[in-house]
Amino acid sequence: MSEFTVSALVLKRRDSGETDRRLTLLTVELGKIDVIAKGAKKSASRLAGVSDPLSVASMTLAKGKVNQFVTQAQPSRSFPGLRRDYDRLSLAFAWVELLAVILPWGEPDENAFELAISALKQLEDHPKPIVALIWAEQKLLELSGHQPSFETCSVTGTSVKEAEAWVSASAGGYVSRGHENGFSDRILVRAEVLYGLSRIGKLERPPTNLKYSDECIPVLMEFWKHILDTPLPANEAVKQQLRHAHLNVDS
């Protein structure tokens, strides 16, 4: 089997047989791929540590008749600050869950890989990690071609004028008064939330603060559910944690 090396971020892992793990990787060279890490479930395996989600490594792969296999791995980053902080770790798992679902298979995109790593660094270091997650999600919506219209009505093109505004994922964003009845998934939010979501996505890095950041995540969740149409347990867990005020947010 011919071998080749990729720079990889582990997005997801599943057990495969008694000793192996199947990994979903985001790589610079091949995009999103699935590989088998043989023996990685064994504690003594050299692949055990690098098969954990959020691990970044240089991996040597061998292509078999059906699957690709990890034969060697050299870790390059593990984000220890995330692993020491439950709240930050929860947000990081929510982030890679989105990446694992929305990114296409086998389509290399250096921008996607750079965003994935940059967001994890921000989640590790940012004084308000929820702000970093909102920024990253907005960037991912844009990168994937699903950027909502938060400041202008997706039906009429008019700007937000209400103090509380309707937003609908099926409509593609903000819906002005009088046009909301056609969208059963509409929710009512503060206009400041829509302004914040629109502006944060235009920034090269997350701001130090974002007003009503705890109200932004449920809005974004509506769009992810509509776009992906698949369960997102890690993201639902973050939403519930926010509801119970367990995360460091500015409300």
**Cα distance from N-terminal residue to C-terminal residue, the chain:** 55
Distance of CA 143 to the CA centre of its chain: 12
Q: Which amino acid is at 201?
A: G
- The predicted pLDDT at position 49 comes to 85
Structure tokens at 240: 């519930």
Does an H or E element contain 179, and which? Answer: none
Q: Is 215 helix (H, G, I), strand (E, B) or coil?
A: helix
Radius of gyration of the chain (CA): 20
- The predicted pLDDT at position 221 comes to 97
- As a whole number, mean pLDDT of residues 207-223 equals 96
Could you read off the pLDDT of 32-81 as tens digits, one per residue? Answer: 999 999 999 888 888 988 999 999 999 999 988 889 999 999 999 989 99
- The predicted pLDDT at position 109 comes to 97
Q: Which amino acid is at 184?
A: S
- The predicted pLDDT at position 245 comes to 61
Place of tokens 């057990």: 15
What are the φ and ψ backbone dihedral angles of 216, each rounded to 5 degrees? -75, -40
Structure tokens at 75: 């870790």
Contact 169, 226 (CB under 8 A): yes
What are the φ and ψ backbone dihedral angles of 93, each rounded to 5 degrees? -65, -35
Contacts of 172 (CB under 8 A, 6+ apart): 148, 149, 154
Could you read off the pLDDT of 222-249 as tens digits, one per residue? Answer: 999 999 999 999 999 999 988 876 455 4
Mean pLDDT, the chain, whole residue set: 93
- The predicted pLDDT at position 243 comes to 81
- The predicted pLDDT at position 65 comes to 81
**From start to end of the chain, where are the E strands?**
3-16, 20-27, 31-37, 56-63, 68-77, 164-168, 173-175, 187-190
C-beta atoms surrounding 17 within 10 Å: 11
Q: Is the dihedral of CA 196, 83, 92, 247 positive or negative?
A: negative
Structure tokens at 73: 């791995």
- 251 pLDDT higher than 50: no
How many CA within 13 A on the CB side of residue 146? 17
- The predicted pLDDT at position 192 comes to 97
- As a whole number, mean pLDDT of residues 130-146 equals 97
Contact 37, 8 (CB under 8 A): no
**78: nearest Cα among 101, 51, 45, 114:** 51
Contact 172, 157 (CB under 8 A): no
Could you read off the pLDDT of 161-192 as tens digits, one per residue? Answer: 999 999 999 999 999 999 999 999 999 999 99
